[in-house]
Amino acid sequence: MTRYKVNAEELTAALAELPGWEVKDGKLHKTYKFGSFAQAIGWMVSIAIHADKMDHHPEWANVYNRIRVDLVTHDLGNAISSWDIELAKKMDALAA
């Protein structure tokens, strides 16, 4: 699977398909709110397994039922890459 830095056009197109996501401090950012702490942690565990298989790891923080997520690719000089977009899509799919 190829991993590449997305250009401005690709980023705009991706954001149009990623409700709630925005670029914040150069990273792909979203805050999720779940129905409970248990649901939030369950989602994190599912995503953690997927992220580790991808070898692409999120920056995230949990407070009760909220999870703040920042996605960026360290190996590409902290750029937003195709893998950040792919992981964001997976996060939305599993949160639905």
- 91 touches ligand H2B (CB under 6 A): no
Return the range that interacts with ligand H2B (CB under 6 A); candidates 13-21, 26-34, 35-43, 52-60: 52-60
Cβ neighbours of 67 (radius 10 Å): 22
DSSP 58-87: -EEEEETTEEEEEE-BGGGTSB-BHHHHHH
Among 27, 29, 30, 56, binds ligand H2B (CB under 6 A): 56
Name the token pair of 93: 């799919």
Is 73 a residue that touches ligand H2B (CB under 6 A)? Answer: yes
The reply on whether position 25 binds ligand H2B by CB under 6 A is no
